[in-house]
Amino acid sequence: MDHIDHILVVDDDRDIRTGVADYLRKNGLRASAAIDGRDMFAKLDTSVFDLIVLDIMMPGDDGLVLCRTLCGGKHRALPILLLTARDGETDRIIGLEMGADDYVVKPFSPRELLARIKAVIRRTRMLPPNLRSTEAVDTLSFGSWRLDIRARQLVDQDGTIVALSGAEFRLLRVFLDHPQRVLSRDQLLNLTQGRDAEHFDRSIDLLVSRLRTRLDDNAKEQVYIKTVRSEGYVFSMPLTVRQI
């Protein structure tokens, strides 16, 4: 039986919550709804989801707090699409910094939301551009780090696991698949977020900054990810590959 993507819609507004869930079901997806963070985590404990649609403006723990919690815990690989207010650019920036994969601005078209959900899921599952399906890469090592591909975990030289959000993992994979090659911001957007994504210009810079923080890569020294003025970024550290 073919897999049907299961979406969790988290919004305290009943009309939006039920309306979005109904629209997704009518368009071939499975959908569940949660009224707040507590309800969301309860459903995550009992069901498997492919993406979370998460409203920022909610009472109690808002969407940004919940996004940070999700991206720092056992659900960090689960894609998150934020629902934001029209004038909430700061919220969008913070959301991307915390690990969200995309956002849709309210009021939104259900058709646009559906398209973005499908785009996020598609690029989340997309094989890295330099890997063929016959290659079974287990670990990529560079400097004092190794990336466990199967577990999607970054591990330091002492064996400490550093949590990566889905967006951070994809960006690191792109860099490791294209070492010593300058990649423009547009190329990084296309490779990590899909050509149909319409992020604002700073989104890749924010994501690179987050990844540098995970790698303890000082922005001035730039041991791993170097900024190439007027061109983009380059991953400068040699790496080794272990296959199984």
Q: Is the dihedral of CA 191, 194, 196, 197 positive or negative?
A: negative
pLDDT of residue 136: 44
User: Does residue 17 surpass a pLDDT of 50?
Assistant: yes
* Axis crossing angle, helix 89-98 with helix 63-71, rounded to the nearest 10: 20
Contact 231, 182 (CB under 8 A): yes
User: What is the DSSP secondary structure assignment for residue 90, as one 8-state letter?
Assistant: H
Higher pLDDT, 244 or 34: 34
Per-residue pLDDT tens over the stretch 50-106: 999 999 988 888 888 898 888 767 777 788 999 987 666 777 777 777 778 888 888
Per-residue pLDDT tens over the stretch 165-177: 878 888 898 888 7
Pairing of strands 239-243, 30-34: unpaired
Q: What residues does CATH 3.40.50.2300 cover in the chain? A: 6-125
Token match 């000082």: residue?
A: 218
Mean pLDDT of 111-138: 67
Q: Domain 137-243: give its CATH architecture.
A: Orthogonal Bundle (1.10)
Percent of the chain with pLDDT over 90: 31
User: Does residue 137 surpass a pLDDT of 60?
Assistant: no
pLDDT grade for 241, boundaries at 50, 70 and 90: low
pLDDT of residue 193: 65
47's tokens? 């069901």
Alpha-carbon distance of 212 to 11, in angstroms, equals 32
pLDDT of residue 185: 83
pLDDT of residue 7: 97
Pairing of strands 80-84, 102-105: parallel
pLDDT grade for 6, boundaries at 50, 70 and 90: very high
Q: What residues does CATH 1.10.10.10 cover in the chain? A: 137-243
Q: In what order do the strands lie in the sheet with 239-243?
A: 161-162, 153-156, 145-148, 137-142, 239-243
User: Does residue 244 surpass a pLDDT of 60?
Assistant: no
pLDDT of residue 201: 52
Q: Rounded to the nearest 5°, which phi and psi values hold at 34?
A: -135, 145
User: Does residue 131 surpass a pLDDT of 80?
Assistant: no
Length of the chain: 244
Fold of 6-125: Rossmann fold (3.40.50)
User: Does residue 111 surpass a pLDDT of 90?
Assistant: yes
